[in-house]
C-alpha cells in the first residue's frame, strides 16, 4: 500500500481519534504509547509493508508485523481496522466482554492481523526472529517487523534474542524501539537507565537506524526506508524511534501519567478538538 504524506497524516489523525475514543468508552487502556506510535503504525501499514487484509495466518509472501509491547493495542486495532482487516465499527467493542479486541492482543479470538498473543513484555523480539528465520528457510524474501517499548528493554529475554539474531545472520528483520523515555512508573532513566542504546545494539551486532522524530510522518518513512535498504546484508536492523508519549493531545504529552489512564468526558472532548476527523468516526 502506498499513499502520499498528506494522506498518511490524515489517516494518523483519524487513528488518534479512534484511540482516545476507544480508551474513553471502556474507561481502560493505554492511550499514551498508542498515540506516540501512531505515525509508525500508519507508515508501516499504509506505505511500507507488503500485506493482505484478507489475512492468511502463515503470511507466506507477505511482510509480517509483531507487536511486542501489546498494551498499546488501541493503535494496533485502529490501524488494522482502517487498513481493512475487520470492520471499523468493531472498534466499539474494545475491552468489552466477548470482544475480539481485548486489552492485549490474543489469537484465540481469530482477529485478522493478529499472529501472536502479546503483552507479556520481552517476548516479541524472539517471536519475530523465529518468523524471520522461518522465512529464510522457506526462501521467502519478505520482511519481518517488530515493535518494542523502551521500558520493555529492561527484560532480559530481549537481550538473549538480540544476541541470537546477528549470530544467525537474521538479516530480514527490522526491529523498532519506541524510544519515548517513559514507562508506567516514570521516566526510564529513573526506573532503570537504558544507557547508550545505540552503542548497546551495535555492540550486539545490529545495524542501528536512529529516527530523531518518530512523530513526523516524513521522518518515520525515511527511517523505515533506510532500514529496509540495509536488510539482506547479514545483520538484523533496529530502529531507535524517538517518540513522545501522548503525541497529538497536548495534556497527555511530556508525562508518563497517561501510560495507562483513560480520559474522562471533558478530557475526551478536549482531545477530539485537537484531532481532525478525516475518515469518519466509527
pLDDT digits (tens, 9 = 90+) for 50-82: 999 999 999 999 999 999 999 999 999 999 999
Q: State residue 170's pLDDT score.
A: 98
Report the pLDDT value the prediction gives residue 256, as an integer from 0 to 100: 93
Domain ranges of the chain: 5-274
> What is the arrangement of strands in the sheet containing 173-179, beginning at the earlier edge strand?
64-67, 144-149, 173-179, 237-242, 207-211
Do the strands 186-187 and 182-183 form a parallel or antiparallel pair, or are they unpaired? antiparallel
Q: For residue range 173-186, list pLDDT tens digits in order.
A: 999 999 999 999 99
Topology of domain 5-274, per CATH?
A: Rossmann fold (3.40.50)
Helices (H), 150-275: 156-167, 188-192, 197-203, 217-229, 265-274
pLDDT at 2: 55
- Collapsed DSSP state (helix, strand, coil) of residue 179: strand
Tell me the Ramachandran region of residue 246: left when phi exceeds 0, alpha when psi lies from -120 to 50, beta otherwise: left
Q: 3-state DSSP call for residue 67?
A: strand
C-alpha cell at position 97: 466482554
Q: Which pLDDT does position 119 carry in this prediction?
A: 83
| 3-state per-residue secondary structure call for 93-157 | HCCCCCCCCCCCCCCCCCCCCCCCCCCCCCCHHHHHHHHHHHHHHCCCCCCEEEEEECHHHHCHH
Does this model's pTM top 0.75? My answer is yes
Residues in the chain predicted with pLDDT less than 70, given as ranges, are 1-3
Residue 3 pLDDT: 64
Amino acid at each position: 500500500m502506498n499513499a502520499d504524506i498528506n494522506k498518511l497524516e490524515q489517516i494518523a489523525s483519524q487513528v488518534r481519534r479512534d484511540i482516545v475514543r476507544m480508551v474513553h468508552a471502556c474507561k481502560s487502556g493505554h492511550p499514551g504509547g498508542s498515540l506516540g506510535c501512531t505515525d509508525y503504525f500508519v507508515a508501516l501499514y499504509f506505505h511500507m509493508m507488503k500485506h493482505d487484509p484478507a489475512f492468511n495466518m502463515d503470511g507466506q509472501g507477505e511482510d509480517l508485523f509483531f507487536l511486542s509491547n501489546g498494551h498499546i493495542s488501541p493503535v494496533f486495532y485502529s490501524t488494522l481496522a482502517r487498513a481493512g482487516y475487520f470492520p471499523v465499527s468493531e472498534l466499539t467493542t474494545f475491552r468489552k466482554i466477548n470482544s475480539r479486541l481485548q486489552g492485549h492482543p490474543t489469537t484465540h479470538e481469530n482477529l485478522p492481523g493478529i499472529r501472536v498473543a502479546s503483552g507479556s513484555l520481552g517476548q516479541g523480539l524472539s517471536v519475530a526472529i523465529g518468523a524471520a528465520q522461518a522465512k529464510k528457510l522457506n526462501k521467502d524474501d519478505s520482511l519481518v517487523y517488530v515493535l518494542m517499548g523502551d521500558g520493555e528493554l529492561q527484560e532480559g529475554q530481549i537481550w538473549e534474542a538480540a544476541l541470537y539474531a546477528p549470530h544467525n545472520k537474521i538479516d530480514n528483520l527490522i526491529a523498532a524501539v519506541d524510544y519515548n523515555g517513559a514507562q508506567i512508573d516514570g521516566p526510564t532513566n529513573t526506573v532503570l537507565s537504558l544507557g547508550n542504546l545505540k552503542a548497546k545494539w551495535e555492540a550486539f551486532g545490529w545495524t542501528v537506524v536512529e529516527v530523531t522524530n518518530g512523530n513526523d510522518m516524513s521522518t518515520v518513512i525515511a527511517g523505515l526506508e533506510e532500514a529496509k535498504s540495509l536488510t539482506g546484508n547479514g545483520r538484523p536492523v533496529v530502529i531507535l524511534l524517538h517518540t513522545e508519549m501522548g503525541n497529538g493531545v497536548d495534556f497527555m504529552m511530556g508525562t508518563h501519567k497517561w501510560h495507562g489512564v483513560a480520559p474522562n468526558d471533558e478530557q475526551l472532548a478536549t482531545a477530539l478538538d485537537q484531532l481532525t476527523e478525516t475518515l469518519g468516526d466509527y
